[in-house]
Amino acid sequence: MNNLTTAAIAGIILCFSAIPTAAETPEEKGRWIAEQTDRRDLGWGDSEVHLTMTLRNREGQSSIRKLSIASLEVDEPKLGDRSLTLFDEPRDIEGTAFLSHTRILDPDDQWLYLPALKRVKRISSQNKSGPFVGSEFAYEDLVSQEVERYTYKYLRDEPCGDRTCFVSERFPVYEHSGYTRQVTWVDHTDFQPRKVEYYDRKGDLLKVLELVEYRQYLGKYWRAHRLEMVNHQTGKSTTLAFSDYSFKLGLNDGDFRKSRLERLR
């Protein structure tokens, strides 16, 4: 066979190997879906984005915060990505910073810099289910969602807007998670998450996250530009609106060290 024919056959084999077979269990298919999502987001390196956080109470009253998030991709097997969140507005939380080093199976390393106290506070592994600066997002919602952090179970296919989604359950392996399980809706076409339901430690529905307004960067990487988290137990909600994504900025480990938080004093 010539090289062109060989390449074509190899491509067909690779294509079919990526499609789950009917013989797979729901658990195997659920993990396959998560792996496809992860595989499509490898290689972006580092990024920075600006966003507006809008918090609403049950009565509809709202407050606005402005912040930026810098992220660093980590490809070590037992480690996840790193992120540094800096708050710019309003004045009472200006300078607040949140640093996260995700770990796959061990507790994440997370620190919060509080300018009013002029000190860095390490976040306890038992406290990551708590609200992040008063929002409906928990600390554990804001770290990279590595495949090995969960076990999975595929449930069904169903429409999600004008698309079709895989619907799966995922169960946190991390023992101090605030959730017993999450239900995810992942697009058939681009394998991006469209919705997540979070169930509390009693097994009751706690929150629902919707991810919309996706845009593609560098011809490959998809990012949702609006995240809407609604707490169905309190009636509160938080919207994150993203803008001005930048990639390949040359960030490195030194930009994500605890010592950088300490220099903010």
Which residues are within 8 A (CB) of 192 and not within 5 positions of it... i.e. 6 or more apart? 37, 40, 186, 211, 214, 222, 224
> Chain-wide mean pLDDT for the chain?
86
Q: Is the Cβ–Cβ distance between 129 and 140 less than 8 Å?
A: yes
Nearest to 238 by CA among 91, 62, 51, 59: 62
Range picked from 77-91, 116-130, 137-151, 220-234 for highest mean pLDDT? 220-234
Instruction: Please state, in angstroms and rounded to a whole number, the distance separating the CA atoms of residues 53 and 226.
Output: 10
In the chain, what are the domain boundaries?
25-262
For the entire predicted model, the pTM comes to: 0.84
**β-sheet bridge partners, residue 100:** 83, 110
**β-sheet bridge partners, residue 187:** 165
When pLDDT is averaged across residues 206-231 and rounded to a whole number, the result is: 96
The CATH number of the domain covering residues in 25-262:
2.50.20.10
Q: Is the per-residue pLDDT at 184 higher than 70?
A: yes
Q: Is the Cβ–Cβ distance between 69 and 48 less than 8 Å?
A: yes
When pLDDT is averaged across residues 123-151 and rounded to a whole number, the result is: 80
When pLDDT is averaged across residues 171-188 and rounded to a whole number, the result is: 92
Cβ-based burial of 68 (10 A; exposed 0-12, middle 13-18, buried ≥19): middle
Range picked from 9-13, 75-79, 144-148 for highest mean pLDDT? 144-148
pLDDT computed for residue 16 by the predictor: 40
pLDDT computed for residue 6 by the predictor: 41
Q: Is the per-residue pLDDT at 123 higher than 60?
A: yes
Token duo for residue 110: 């997370």
DSSP H stretches of helix in the chain: 3-17, 26-39, 258-262
pLDDT computed for residue 77 by the predictor: 64
